[in-house]
Structure formats: structure tokens, C-alpha cells
Amino acid sequence: MKSLIKKLVETPGPSGFEYQIRDVIREAIGNTADEIRVDALGSLIAKRGTRSESGMRVMISAHIDEIGLMVTHIDDNGFARFTNIGGINPLTCYGGRVLFMDGTRGVIGMDGIERGKTPKLTDLFIDVGATSKEDCPLKVSDVCGFERPFLDLGKRLVAKSMDDRIAAAIAIEVLRKLESTPHEVHFVFSTQEEVGLRGATTAAFGVDPDVGFAVDVTLSGDTPRRSTKMMTALGDGPAIKVRDSSFIADPRLVDWMVKTAQGAGIPYQLEVLEAGGTDGRAIQMTRSGVPAGCVSIACRYIHSPSEMVDFDDVDNAVKLLVKILSEPIKLD
Amino acid sequence: MIDLTALLKEILSVSGLSGFEGPVREIIHKTWEPLTDALSTSKIGSLHGFKKGRGDDPRRRVLISAHMDAIGMMVTEIDDGLMRVTQVGGIDHRILPGQPVTVHGREEMPGVVVQPPAHLLPKSLGDGPVPMKYLFVDVGLRPSEVSKKVRVGDIVAYAQAPLELTGEALAGHTLDNRVSVAATTLCLEALQNRLHDWDLWAVASVQEEETLGGALTSPFDIRPDLAIIIDVCFAKGLGANDWRNLPFGEGVGLGYGPNIHPALYDAFEKKAKALEIPYHRDLMPKMSGTDAMGVQIVAEGIPCMVLGIPLRYMHTPVETVSLRDIRRAGRLMAEYVADLTPDALEQIHWEE
Amino acid sequence: MSKNREVSTNHVPEIDTQPIQLLEKLCNASAVSGDEHEVRQIVLEEVSPLGDEVKVDALGNVLVKRLGQRKNRVRVMLAAHMDEIGLMIVKKHDNSLFEFDLVGGIDERQLPGKSVLVGRDHLPGVIGAKPIHMTTTKERKNKIPVSSMRIDLGPEIGDRVKPGDRATFATRFEILGPSICAKALDNRFGVAILIELLRHPPDTIDLLLAFTVQEEVGLRGARVAAYTFDPDMAVAVDSTPAYDLPHWDEEDENVQYNTRLDGGPAIYTMDRATIADRRLVYWLAETAQDEGIPWQLRQPGGGGTDAGAIHKVRSGIPSISVSVPSRYAHTAAGIARLDDWANTQRLLQAALARLTPDLLSGEQRG
């Protein structure tokens, strides 16, 4: 599974420009799905299973986009100014390396900032090694993601886009491990989550599920200063979301997931996230409403080029989802 | 005749925070059962009450929507038997220290919100207000008991009992928006003895305080031709005396602004005048801050009216309302619905 | 250095007097979000004889269908919002002065000392300001808050104005050489362009025109209009700011101009509400290139158009925006070039004429 994760996290795919990562995922899914389609906003939807008497139409959503940058201006000396795609923290930009969709590489520079002051995005620029406007290969509207190799620290894994490729890896692994299911499961590899849950919004309308789960990363409260007062920690198991700032998980589903984890002896933790949203909201608000939940992977340093997760959590998330999808889901 | 005070006390006696409306839904279900022809629950928990009209098929449909969810708190962390909390809905942290609450863990536990002494807090706070993340909830149990009975994600509700004040005023928590549920109930009661041509869908919606979830979803299947959204509005009172505030106990608010169809506003104004029900134009230059923001833009769009019951001290545990305004709102809605003729929708058009 | 650059255009498109008169009428009408009556009237007058189907929906959008003739027609939604930013009267004070609130994104520094028109009768009023003699240096360092501003319609206004009435800037439409100066060019340009498209409809497509409401308060009309039309693709036609002004520090290059006057229609790639479908970006850019129409990319970044609501409707609708660049949007007086308007019209006309279902076949590949 680690080689799959490496491949997924090293492929660029900022929101709206998921075509390369979509191809990687399509290949990884191979023939483990019964049917694959791509919707108008570019989400890849892999269907598996038929609905039995006790089954439901289930949507599993893992977003495949990542945060990135878009060029807004090439100045006379060949430096490119840019705007953000999704939530970019200027603090983690300076000195970063970027990879454009066409393979062009560059670094992020900054000047004119006093020591100790936080830069704004407009203080930063991309330098692709051009000597003038004329020999700069970039043009306005070109898109890049951060570039950082996958780092395998054994139990802990680090990469630029664990958010949310780790969920894509989990979803693919679930597809591979799922032997039989009473449900019609739609694995949605959704686009444009980082700019407002857009892919999941339209995919959920198309799938029209009876119940839905997002798979995403969440903040962890286990770093030295613990500025985030939350109990989620790396290695404590997949986190079952109770709420985040975008939605309140259906309490019946929360209970169901807890019971399933307990019954199967899978470690889990409960999550209350005070900032951030997930595809769960988009699913819940679809049509006349859909019971929705979310399985989260605790992640340190989210939206930095070095996001860290625990491999056991990933493994246990796969087990939990396989278990949930292998049996009828009861909501009461 | 429904005893309004008793009804309110009953629907205020249980919790029903946004996303966790189960307990209050049960009580409303019980209350509406004799007043409606059918009751159902939406996939995310809104209660749909259906009252059939007497007109010929296909009948027009009018929706009355009152959100039933409440603001409150949720446990984020358990530390040495004390709980840290975050808000559900919008709470001013300055009203929290010393508040009685109920923690809904594996069992219900009474507790209080605790403001730790200054020497245990960051120096920068001084003697200023203490933000929510520094407050605790204490249920008096030993840490080992707490860890058995409470987990992250459990909800914490206000626990002050309602108080009857002078002049038919009632104070309590969660009057936002249970007073509108009560007004809708009065409307359903009044319609027991009135024939109405249109089908009526009375909805107690979920998650207004957090996501407008009920408002964005329930109308999708119901597809009403018109919708009346009833919610509380700001009454004049302590620190609230500008154009956004209506007099207390002196009539209902009729919403006016982009969320409201102007022809519906006119119809309600006309109806209120004819019935001599006092009202005030409640200006909403941009968004109404109510479920109408959601209902209006469902599917192909739904003409909305917003009714307001003036309320003091909104989102505190001592919200205060006049029972007279609740009765007025209930009566106005009932009369409006009863008088909807089969072709009434033709009057709800844009002036052209 | 690119600042103050004169952009010359090869084509000097001509605009008939009819569209100019229509734009004048549209700009001078009042249509604050939620009260689009006046513009809706004008739109209905214009489109009723031309559309196959014309209706006003629950929110007040005007929806017009004009079906093409060929087989395999793409169903294209074009959206232009009718509403504009403005004011709502909220309270009459004892001295016959009226308090107001803002509707849509207005910089309150734009308000003091302006003339306004209030209500359906366009009653003239002014937003006054304290005489400078009575202000202190310290006071002048702070913005005048909206809550302390008042509209004065004279001492005998009586009951002719009441809370709830809307007000707009009193600016009247004017031609200044190659330019137009008016209020509400955002987005009467779009409205005028859609009407003109309906006058010369391409036969190859189904034209689904949405004249939308409440864009300035959250893209609300477009959402339900798109749900109703359920189109194959959509183009929002709007007006976007040109910040092509000199930087105060002459050493600094203006790198955030958004668009430039005389640069032609501004094609969007990304704003805060939409990432444009790249297939549609190329479609518009290639059309402009082939037809010799000047065009520019709007700088990616902030802002949002009706496309932001449309593309998320139902199972997703490939969408893009194209705008007429205009300086000083959301103020009493915007300035835009007649040429940019004409070229936007030409671009859309040409692009729609060459549109085939092939454009949307296959996946979007960036």
C-alpha cells in the first residue's frame, strides 16, 4: 500500500486540475470496480456491488484535489506572481518548490519583508529560473502544486498532499479488499474540495445515495504546544467525526461506526474539529438530505508541504470501512 | 384549546441541539399527531406534518417551516474530569461562566460552566472576558466516573428552567425557536375547525443554527408553491434599540427584503390589517438570517415569507418573549392558509 | 514597463444607436438586489417578442428560451444579473432625514456627498456630510460610519419615502469620447449583451437566457435558474473591474490590475467562486484569436460571478465567465470602453455560432 500512497501523493493535482491524478487513480482501481465514470466537474466515480434487500446506495467520498497556486502575472524580469487555490499559508511557501502541470519546476521567493513579519501571498513570487519575461515559460493561469518527495518514516508517513490522497489510497484499498457487499457502493474520488466541496456537491446529486461517508484528514492535538485543544492523536485509530465547522455528522451513523469498530476490535477515536470542512457536508445537503458521516485520519501540519499521518491509522481505517461496507447499515 | 404556557414548557423541557434534534422531535411529533393527517421524518431528521386540503387534485401546497434545533455546546476534550467545550450555534462566551447546563453523556448529568481563576489562565487575559476554550464544564463526578460517562462529541445544553414574568412574558433558553414551533402548533389547532383548499406541510426543521440543513433539504421533496418561514426576530431591549429591533409584545414582524417575495409580504400585510393583528415591517436589506435563505433557493426556487416573533436576549439562557406575539403569529398563519383559494398563486407574481 | 500602456485595437467595432440607447435605459434604471423590478420590466419588453418561451420565476429571474434549428444542439445557458448594489432606507428620523443600510458590497467611503434616487419614483436626495469646519483633524482620519450617514430629500418629503425603499446613485449615463460613464455597468453590460444575442440568435444551439436576480447578495437567482434550465453548459456574462491604474510608488509595477481597459473581453480562468472549465477557456480564446477580436485573461483571484452558483447545480454544469472590463465598479460612476463592450458581444456571437457538442465530449484535461 505504501507504493500506492507514494504514487498518489507525488502526482500533482490542484483543485480543478485533477486530470493527472484521476488517471493514476483510474489505473490503480483497475478492474476492482464494476463501472467507472467521470462527471461534469471531473470527479471519478467507481461503482461496486448491487443493492440487496438489506443494502443501501452508499457514497464514499475521498477528494483527490490538493491546494496549489495559479499564476496571475509575469513581471518584466520573468518572475511570476500567483494566487492561491485553496487554503495556502504564506508561512509554508517561502523556499518551497513547485511543479507545474506541464512539468516546469520553480521555487518560491520573497523580498521586501522585515524579519519576524508574516508575509502575505502578494509578497511572494515564483522563480522558474527565467532571465526575462521573454524566456519565462509560464503564462497567466498556469497551475502548480507543491513538490516534495514522499517520506516513509516507518510508522509515520510524510508528504505534501496527504490531505487527501491518503483517503484516496484508503478508498482504493477498500475497493481491493472488499470481498462482498450488500450495498451498491459508489466510491467518489471528488474534485475541488479545497475550494468549497464542489466536486462532492455535484457527485452526490448524481449518485443520489441513501447514506454517505467522507474520508478526509483532520487536525491532531498531539504536538508540543497543543495549541489545538482537541483529543485526536496520531496512532489512536481512525477518527470518527462528530462534527466540524461545515456539518454535524449524523449521530446515528456515528453510533453505527463506533459500534462497528468496537465489535471488530478496531481502535478508533472521536473527533470534534472546530475549523475545517469535508465532503460530508456536501453529501448531507444533497436533494432532500442524506445521512452523512466521516472517517478521518489524524494529520499533523495540514496544508504544509510535510503533512504527517500514522500508517496504522490508515490500515485501521481500511479495516473499518471494509467492515462497514460488508454488512447492512442500520440507522436508528 | 391548547394551553400555550404548558405547551411551551413541555417543548422546552427537552434538548435538541442542532444535529441532535431527536428528543424535541418526539415531543413535537406527539403534539402534532392529533392535528395533522400524516407525519414523517426527513432523512436528516426534520419533522414533516401533512394536513390535507379540501380542494380538487392537484392541490397547491403551502409550507410552514419552523426550526426546532437549539444552540448549545459540545465536548471537545476531557481533562482530569473536567470538560472543555465548543459552541453549537453562536454563543457569546461572556454569558457562560456560572451557567447551569446538562451534559448528555451515557446518561444526563447536571453541571455548571466554570471560569478558572486568573492565575491558571494566560496572563494576557487579565481580568477580561474568558474565551470559551479556557472554560470548563464540571459535573461534580470523579475523573474515573467522567471518563466512563462522557466522550468527545457529547452535547451540553442550557439547563435553566423557564420563568413566567409579568404581562404574559416568558423567559428561558431555546425560545429561539421553540416559540415558532408553538405558533405553528396553534396554527394547526386553529385549522382543525377551518376548511382550507391547499395542502399544508408544517415542518419542524433541523440544523438552522449551524447549516440551514433542514431548510435546504425538506422543500426538495415537498416542493411547496409557497413557504412561510417563522422564526424569532430581535425585540427592542437592553442594547438593542436601532432599526433592526421591533417593539416587544406589540405585534409580529413581517420580513421585508431579498429573501421575501414582495407579493407575499403584501398579502400578509393586508391579512394582518384585516384581522387587526398588530405587526411591524422587519427590514432585512440583505439576508434574513433565517431558514428562508435556504428554502428560497431550493430546486427551481420557492416564494418565501418570513414571520418574526420578537425576542429579547437572543441566544442567552434567558431569552424573553411575549405569549401574545406567539398567539398572533399562529392566528395570522392559520387565517392566511385558510383563505388561500385554489387560484391564489396567481396573485403571487412579480408586478409585471 | 507596462503601466499606462496604450493598447491599440485593430478593430474598431461599431455600435448601433439602438444598443446604446438600451444600455442607457438599463443603467439609469434602479434595480437594487431583491427589487429588480425596473430592469426586469425593460428586459421583458425587449425579450417578449423574441423568445420562444419567456417566464418570470419564483425569485424574479427572467428566463428566456430560444431554440435553434439544427440537430444535436448544445443547450447553452447564458446568465447576466439584473441587480446592482445599492441602499435600503431603514429608518425615518425626526428631522426628516433617512437612515439607510447597504445592499451588496459597497465601500462606505464612496458614499458621503453623493446624490441618490430613492424608491420607485426616483425621488432625488443627497447623502450629506458635516461641514469640514466642524470636523477635527482626528475625526477626518476615520471613515464616516454608515450608521451615522443620512439621506436628505428635503424638509417636506413627508410619507413619500418609507423604510424598505431602495436607493441607488443618481449618476446618469453619459458617453465620454470612447467611453461610457454610468452607474451599474456591473451588470447592465451583461443584460444588454444577452438581449442583443437574442436579436441575432445562432441557429446551431438552444439559447437559454437567464436574467438573474440577487447576484450581489450571493448568486442566488442564478442557482435556481440553472436548476430550471438544466443546461449542457453555461456562460456568465458580467462586468469586472479594471484596476489598471498607476501604483502610488512609481518604482512598483502594478501586478494586480485584474483587467485592463481596451484589452477586450476578459475571459475567466478562476475566481473565488468558480474554476472555469478549461475546455471553455480554450473555446473562447481560440474564437477570439481566429476572429481577430482583442481579448484578455482576467487575472485569477478574488471575486465571483453567477457561474459560481451555476456550475454546482444538479450533477454539475461546465461553466465559464466572460466580462466587460470596467473601472470603478460598485461606486457612483464606472467608466468603460465602448470597444470592450462591442468586442465582448462579437466574441460571444462568434463563439456560440461555432459551438458543437464536440466541445464537451471527453474529459476536461486542463
Instruction: Tell me: do A12 and A105 sit in the same domain.
Output: no
Domain count, chain A: 2
Mean pLDDT on A121-128: 94
Q: How confident is the model at residue C8 (pLDDT cuts 50, 70, 90)?
A: very low
Please provide the distance, in angstroms rounded to a whole number, between the alpha carbons at the two ends of chain A: 35
Give tens-digit pLDDT for C61-95.
999 999 999 889 999 999 999 999 999 999 999 88
Residue C10 binned pLDDT confidence (cut-offs 50, 70, 90): very low
Q: What is the pLDDT of residue A229?
A: 67
Q: Pinpoint the alpha helices (H) of C164-312.
A: 185-199, 220-229, 278-291, 307-310
Residue A200 vs residues A119, A241, C15: alpha-carbon distances, Å: 33, 18, 44
Burial of A95 (0-12, 13-18, 19+ CB in 10 A): exposed
Instruction: Name which of B88, B140, B90, B89 is nearest B114 in CA terms.
Output: B140
Catalytic amino acids of A? 193
Do C58 and B301 lie within an 8 Å CB cutoff? yes
On the question of pLDDT at C12 being above 70, the answer is no
Q: In this complex, how many residue pairs, one in chain A and one in chain C, have their CB atoms less than 8 Å apart? A: 79
Q: Do C103 and B302 touch (CB under 8 A)?
A: no
CATH code for position A197 = 3.40.630.10
A244, A248, A253, A286, best to mutate vs chain B, most B CBs in 10 Å: A248
Q: Specify the pLDDT at position B352.
A: 57
A85 with A111, same domain: the answer is yes
Contact across the interface for B300 and C103, Cβ inside 8 Å: no
pLDDT bucket at C9, cuts 50 / 70 / 90 = very low
In a domain? residue A152: no
Average pLDDT in chain A: 95
What residues in A contact B70, CB-CB < 8 Å?
none
**The domain boundary residue, chosen from A97, A123, A146:** A146
In a domain, A151, yes or no: no
Structure confidence at residue C348 as a pLDDT band (50, 70, 90): very high
**Is the pLDDT score of C111 beyond 90?**
yes
> What would the pLDDT profile of C134-193 be if each residue is shown by its tens digit?
999 999 999 999 999 999 999 999 999 999 999 999 999 999 999 999 999 999 999 999
Residue C251 pLDDT? 73
State the pLDDT at residue B101: 97
pLDDT per residue as tens digits for the range B53-100: 998 899 999 999 999 999 999 999 999 999 999 999 999 999 999 999
Cβ neighbours for C268, distance < 8 A, ≥ 6 positions apart: C274, C276, C281, C297, C298, C305, C307, C320, C321, C322, C323
pLDDT of residue C7 exceeding 60, the answer is no
Angstrom CA distances, C98 to B5, C95, C122, C129, C343, stand at 40, 9, 15, 13, 42
Task: Give me the pLDDT at residue C6, please.
Answer: 45
pLDDT tens track for C294-320: 999 999 999 999 999 999 999 999 999
**Residue C2: predicted pLDDT:** 39
Which residues of chain A have a CB within 8 Å of the CB of C316? 39-41, 199, 202-203, 205-206
Last residue of a domain, one of A92, A115, A146: A146
Q: Does the ipTM surpass 0.95?
A: no
Q: Find the domain containing A80 and state its range.
A: 68-146
C365 touches chain A (CB under 8 A): yes
The list of chain B residues with pLDDT below 70 reads 352
Fold for domain C86-169? Elongation Factor Tu (Ef-tu); domain 3 (2.40.30)
Within this chain, do residues A302 and A210 fall inside the same structural domain, yes or no? yes
Cα(C341)–Cα(C190) distance, integer angstroms: 9
Residue A224 vs residue B113, higher pLDDT: B113
Strand partners for A105: A99
Spatial separation of the C-alpha atoms in residues C97 and B73, rounded to whole Å = 44
Choosing among 1.20.144.10, 3.30.310.50, 2.30.30.230, 3.40.630.10, the CATH entry for C17-84+183-360 is: 3.40.630.10
Q: What domains can be seen in chain B, in order of their start residue?
A: 4-70+173-347 (3.40.630.10), 72-158 (2.40.30.40)
CATH number at residue A91: 2.40.30.40
pLDDT of C84 reads: 98
C-alpha distance from C299 to closest chain A C-alpha (Å): 5
Tell me: the pLDDT tens digits for C34-59?
A: 999 999 999 999 999 999 999 999 99
DSSP string, C240-254: EE------SSTTS--
pLDDT of C324 above 80: yes
Please tell me the predicted confidence (pLDDT) of residue A118.
84
Contacts of B285 in chain C (CB under 8 A): 34, 88, 90, 101-103
Tell me the pLDDT band of A100, cut-offs 50, 70 and 90. very high
Do B308 and B21 contact (CB within 8 A), yes or no?
no
Identify the pLDDT of residue B351: 77
Q: Kindly state the average pLDDT of the residues A222-234.
A: 80
Say whether both A243 and A124 belong to one domain: no
Task: Name the DSSP class of A60.
Answer: E
Picking from A210, A251, A290, the nearest residue to B19 by CB comes out as A251
For chain C, give the mean pLDDT: 94
Q: Please report, for chain C, the start and end positions of each structural domain, with discontinuous segments joined by +.
A: 17-84+183-360, 86-169
Domain boundary among A146, A171, A203: A146
Nearest to B138 by CA among B193, B185, B75, B90: B75
Q: How many CB atoms lie within 10 A of CB B77?
A: 20
Cα gap C326→C341, rounded to integer Å: 9
Pair A168, A19 in one domain: yes
Per-residue pLDDT band for A228 (boundaries 50, 70, 90) equals low
Distances, alpha carbon C32 to alpha carbons A178, B286, C111, in Å: 56, 10, 16
Q: Does the beta-carbon distance from A73 to C2 stay under 8 Å?
A: no
In this predicted structure, what is the pLDDT of residue C1? Answer: 36
CA gap C59, C53 in Å, rounded: 18
Work out the percent of chain C whose per-residue pLDDT is above 70: 96
Domain shared by A139 and A88, yes or no: yes
- Give the pLDDT confidence score for residue B194 in this predicted structure: 93
* Residue A272 · residue B75 · CB < 8 Å: yes
